[in-house]
Amino acid sequence: MSGTLAPGLSRKVKKILETKVDSPELLSSLATLSEIHPSNTPAARRRLRATIEKQGLDVAKSFLSDASSVIDAINVVRKELDGLSTACDGISKGIEASKQATSGLLEETSQLKRKLAISERRSELVVQFLSSYQLSEEEIEALSDHEVGDEFFKALERVREIHGNCRSLLHGAHQRAGLEIMDAMGAHQEAAYEKLCRWVQQQCRALGSDDAPEVDGTLRKAAHVLQQRPVLFKYCAEEVATSRHNALFQRFIAALTRGGPGGTPRPIEMHAHDPRRYVGDMLAWVHQSLASEHELFVSLFGEHKDDWGPSVQDAEGGSSTEMATTSLLLDRVFESICRPLKVRVEQVLMSSPSMLLCYRLSHLLAFYGSTVRSILGEEAQLFNTLKGCKEMAARIFFEQLKSKGDHLLRNPPPPPSDLSPPSQVSEAIRLLLDILEVSETGVEQPSNEATGAEAERVLTAGLDPLLTMCEKSAEALSADAPSRVDEQTSLDPSAQKIYQINCLHAIQTLLGRRPCMDSWTARLAELIEGHTASLVGTEVGRILSRAGLSEILERIRLHQESGSDTGAMADEPALQKEKVAEALKGFFSAVSEPDILPAFNALQAPRVRAQASDRVARHLADAYSTIYSALTDPANGYSPDGDASAIVKHNPDQVATILGVS
């Protein structure tokens, strides 16, 4: 095979060699050939091409046989489509002809649609306008119906809303329509308010006979709605006040004379024999009635607030509050009982009650007066009535207190033999303490400043005449007093001071310690100190005079005040050594006696008694120390070297020990 292959054969051989025998396509083709030629013989291989071509022709014939029926069906469909296309062309031509014939009708239909849209919009505007500016039949019926309820208030609120909406019309191009609607709504509104006023008056008349009437929500709301019409509201408020005015007077008289239902509680005037309970029951009844009436008027005219607009005072342009209107109405209601209450309280005060009872009634009236003032104000007639009764009780109290003081001044009691305070002192102080206890523990608790001022006034009115009485009573203990009632020819000169100290100390002890008595406690302590100092001075002077040292001490003080211009002290005749020595001898003789120092046994205050005795001893020791210093001073001429042992035997410390001065 050294020869060269033909080019065509070479390509075929090359193509065969390059063929991939393991490709799926080749394998599938070979499998198909195996089905066509199950035997692999040379003859079969030679006829392979012819066999394949024959097989292809058979397949093509089969396809043509099957496709002929499809082609026939397609031809039938084509014919039908041609007929349908012809029909559509006819219809399209008919439609086009109809469109050309009805073009005017379509234009007219479009215009009608536009007009319909405009009409619908106008209808919506009309409905909206009517809903904003007209009342419905149900609302008109609710306003004209005899009953007043939620539907009425909703309709009235609707009228107010429409009336307010008309303001927007007045600002635009519809002023005439706005005015007409406002007039119509105004007529509805006025008729509704007049109807509401009559209904409220009718309901309020029914409240007049009840002690504590219940106010339902409808009446409360109606009264509040009427505040939009001040005149109508005033009529209704006056109707309520008038009915409650008359009913309160009748209830007060019934409470005084008949009592409650079935006799419980009992009539107040059954306790007229007990002034404190009688007045207290009347004031308690007034206070209870004021609370219930205040609750009624507040529920009607006061604190009910919703979206119905301004209050009466705002509508009138005033600056007062709802509570002020309620206070004025309550003042008118309680004006009915002012006179009967005042007459009965004055009858009690004019029946000569005790001083303590007058003070209790004064405080009781002050308490209820302050309570009434907090609700009705200071201009209320009931408050002024209670204020007048309180001032009358206070005036009678101070008149009685002054009368008692004047009686003590006109008839001072004689001092007891033991110089103890008379019984009038303890009685007067206990009365003052009872009065102050009323002020401190009473129902009314004023400020500390007011309490102190009142207590000071009471103490001044009670203690000033009592102190003066003690002074006048002590005058009976003086030797030359015309009011002496004792039979003794001589009196202890200290008795008058001791008696006054005992009286003052008793007053101070009985008063005790209270903040309102600080000034009086200090004043009494000052008076006791003054009398004690006078008592001590008298006793010291008596002892020194008895020993003969009184004149010597006076001369020594005068010489010391005049200085050295008068010469030596020993050169004075009254201060010669012999006279001084003789006086000191008498002094030592006196202080050596066990009872030389006064014990002041008549002083009933142990502390004051001990202080007085100690002060006498100290004064005597100081007097001896003054004389001793003068005698031991070389400048005085008693001893050139200052040795005064020839005259005095004891130094001041020794004398202080003898006298018991520590």
* Weakest mean pLDDT among 262-271, 411-420, 645-654: 645-654
Decide: helix, strand or coil at residue 417: coil
Spatial distance between the Cα atoms of 659 and 653, rounded to a whole number of angstroms: 10
Q: In the prediction, which pLDDT does 565 show?
A: 61
Predicted local confidence at residue 209, as pLDDT: 62
Q: Given this model, what pLDDT does residue 366 score?
A: 93
d(CA 536, CA 515): 32
Task: Give the residue among 519, 520, 530, 540 at the shortest CA–CA distance from 608.
Answer: 530
Query: Would you call 192 exposed, middle or buried from its count of C-beta atoms within 10 A (0-12, 13-18, 19+)?
Result: buried
User: Which residues have a Cβ under 8 Å from the Cβ of 68 and sit 6 or more positions away?
Assistant: none
Q: What is the mean pLDDT of the chain?
A: 81
Quickly tell me which residue has 């009142």 as its tokens: 454
Residue 500 CB-half CA count within 13 A: 28
- DSSP per-residue letters across 46-57: HTHHHHHHHHHH
Per DSSP, 39 falls in state: S
For 123, counting Cβ atoms within 10 Å of its Cβ (0-12 exposed, 13-18 middle, 19+ buried), the class is: exposed
| Tokens 């008063």, located at residue | 511
Most confident of the ranges 135-139, 241-245, 284-288: 284-288
Q: Is the pLDDT of residue 352 over 90?
A: no
CA distances from 249 to 91, 215, 272, 340, 382 (A): 105, 21, 19, 9, 13
Q: Output the pLDDT for position 115.
A: 87
Residue 300 main-chain phi, psi, to 5 deg: -85, -45
Distance CA 339, CA 574 (A): 86
Instruction: Tell me if 414 sits within 8 A of 485, measured CB to CB.
Output: yes
pTM for this model (two decimals): 0.68
Which of 56-70, 382-396, 468-482 is most confident?
382-396
pLDDT tens-digit readout, 582-608: 888 888 887 777 677 787 888 988 999
Residues near 254 by beta carbon (within 8 Å), at least 6 away in sequence: none
Cβ atoms of 337 and 349 within 8 Å: the answer is no
Degrees, nearest 5: CA angle 11-15-17 = 120
Query: Residue 305: pLDDT band by 50, 70, 90 thresholds?
Result: very low
- Distance (Å, rounded) from C-alpha 428 to C-alpha 438? 16
Q: What is the pLDDT of residue 629?
A: 84
Most confident of 32-46, 76-90, 123-137, 212-226: 76-90
538-576 residue pLDDT tens = 888 888 888 888 888 888 888 877 765 666 777 777 777
Total number of residues shown for the chain: 662
* Residue type at 200 in one-letter notation: V
Give the pLDDT of residue 556: 83
Quickly state the pLDDT bin for 173 (edges 50, 70, 90).
low
Question: What percent of the chain clears pLDDT 70, i.e. is strictly above it?
Answer: 83
Q: What is the DSSP letter of 564?
A: G
Phi, psi of 269, rounded to the nearest 5 degrees: -70, -5
Most confident listed range (20-34, 204-218, 223-237, 464-478): 464-478
Domain-wise residue ranges, the chain:
53-94, 131-205, 210-389, 412-476+493-536, 548-659
Please determine, for residue 82, whether its predicted confidence score (pLDDT) is greater than 80.
yes
Q: H helices within 206-266, ranges in order?
A: 217-225, 230-257
What distance in Å separates the CA atoms of residue 533 and residue 514, rounded to the nearest whole number?
Answer: 27
Greater pLDDT, 26 or 420? 420
pLDDT of residue 528: 92
- Residue 572 has what DSSP assignment? S
CA 184 to chain centre: 49
Cα gap 196→145, rounded to integer Å: 11
- Cβ-count burial of 566 within 10 angstroms (0-12 exposed, 13-18 middle, 19+ buried)? exposed
| pLDDT at 157 > cutoff 90 | no
d(CA 246, CA 581): 101
Amino acid at 372: V
pLDDT band for 484, please (50, 70, 90 cuts): low
Q: Where are the alpha helices (DSSP H) in 149-229?
A: 150-170, 175-205, 217-225
Determine what percent of the chain falls in helix, strand and coil, rounding each to the nearest 5.
75, 0, 25
pLDDT for res 31: 74
What burial letters (b/e) apply to 36-70, b meaning 16+ CB within 10 Å?
Answer: eeeeeeeeeeeeeeeeeeeeeeeeeeeeeeeeeee
Structure tokens at 380: 């209320």
For residue 303, the model assigns a pLDDT of 53
Count of alpha carbons within 13 Å of 414, Cβ hemisphere only?
Answer: 8
480 vs 41: which has the higher pLDDT: 41
Please report the pLDDT score of residue 314 as a whole number.
Answer: 43
pLDDT per residue over 616-647, tens digit each? 989 988 988 888 888 887 777 777 665 666 67
Q: What is the pLDDT of residues 372-423, one digit of tens each?
A: 999 998 999 999 999 999 999 999 999 999 999 999 999 999 998 889 999 9
d(CA 236, CA 157): 20
Terminal Cα distance for the chain, rounded: 173
Q: Round to whole Å and give the CA distance between 559 and 576.
A: 13
Residue 421: the pLDDT is: 92
Q: Which position has the higher pLDDT, 161 or 418?
A: 418
